[in-house]
A and B are shown apart, each in its own frame.
Chain A
């Protein structure tokens, strides 16, 4: 198969977008077993129709839920993701989304206000100037995509734990829910939200976060797979109910910890 130009080894830019398009929700498609039952060996083992697709999907989702619990237990709040020198930054750092780069949301920084809500004391929205004035930290960490590829990037911003403190969040709540400008969303567990490397990022490589990387704000979580790192964040809620997320709701593992 002819290889098209790659951004980083093992990643094909066109295929990335095509993959993402292919992964778009399709109500007519059976979620898990499209083409799956033609796996000859399984058919040999148990006759042609050993697995009822819906039943199998139910069982698999239950096991995925169980795996969420296992991963929460494995999660060490003090274990830091490895950090790298500047020379290791992947350039250009890949754009990734379920839409093409020129379809990424365009947020107006001048009128932008971050909405905050749920179990917090201060529900005043935040302007970008207010956010930029928060104490900044920096990290160069590896972004690992659920597809398998990885890339190292440099992010600057405020620790999410610090921000949660400023808005008077009740950190006994179970979840933090992010809503994004393009309709994307993620819910993460509180222990991960409070991890020292979980960062509300305003900059990539010391430059104001460009549109393609999630302007005005991304939540960088180096202890989770890439799709659990929301971009174009519009609202943050602290709450006890799991609001799910864009990919999680379609069958990707909820915890998706690294």
Chain B
């Protein structure tokens, strides 16, 4: 459907994000907020570092509530994530949109972005910084799910837990993946606000 629209070329804006990308994107956004908010409350029960997250920004109210949210939203996150990755691979979107990632171009584009000289004329093509960040965040997403499974089932999935350095270390991996995702979110939302047409594209597709 999307490809016909693009080829017809009658519409002033070609479809950049097919409907499956937009759907999985927003479902993921919701699932991630629930996972992060409840994850912070779970973290608070036994902090890894010398701080706790303020209760006003956590989800669940107390540990049991947070765990119920976390282990409910995980299904949404996992099923949606599997559909996204499967379609990304099957349709060739990952290959054409995210590859190749050239280190030289990443450095050049980062400089351009920081001096506000990075062009966003063609939203259908990701610049090198976007490619690196999007590919990277997919890898982080896979890692946070695998480390989460290792924490949830350190006996049944003990080989997987061992790969993450055991139960206790897997908790740190899970935490740092969360931190990377939150860091990504800050930049991602900031950039979407600076380039509003990119937000429009993720809603209308064009």
Residues of chain A touching chain B, judged by Cβ–Cβ distance below 8 Å, are 1, 3, 10-11, 19, 22-23, 29-36, 38-42, 45, 59-61, 63-64, 67, 74-76, 79-82, 142, 144-150, 222-223, 247, 250-253, 257-258
Contact A63 B68 (CB under 8 A): yes
- A31 contacts which chain B residues (CB < 8 A)? 61-62, 64-65
A82 to B168, CA, bound (A): 14
How many Å from the CB of A85 to the closest CB on chain B?
A: 14
Complex A-B: 25 CB contacts under 8 Å: A1-B50, A3-B50, A10-B168, A23-B62, A23-B63, A31-B61, A31-B65, A33-B60, A33-B65, A34-B65, A35-B56, A36-B60, A39-B33, A39-B59, A41-B33, A45-B30, A60-B65, A142-B167, A147-B46, A148-B171, A223-B155, A247-B64, A250-B64, A251-B68, A258-B155
A11 to chain B, nearest CB (A): 6
List 16 additional contacts besides A33-B61, A39-B37; criterion CB under 8 Å: A3-B50, A34-B62, A36-B59, A36-B65, A38-B56, A41-B33, A42-B37, A59-B72, A60-B68, A61-B68, A145-B46, A147-B46, A148-B43, A148-B171, A222-B155, A258-B155
Q: Which residues of B sit under 8 angstroms from A223, Cβ to Cβ?
A: 155-156
Docked pose: A75 CA to B157 CA in angstroms = 10
Contacts of B50 in A (CB 8 A): 1, 3
Which residues from chain A contact B64 at a C-beta distance below 8 Å? 23, 31-32, 247, 250-252
Label chain A's interface by main secondary structure: loop
Chain B residues with CB under 8 A of A144:
154, 167
Given contacts A1-B50, A42-B34, A148-B46, contact A74 B153 (CB under 8 A): yes
Tell me which of B33, B65, B69, B167 contacts A45 (CB under 8 A): B33
Which 8 pairs of residues, A with B, have the shortest CB-CB distance?
Answer: A34-B61, A32-B65, A251-B64, A148-B46, A147-B45, A60-B68, A147-B46, A63-B72
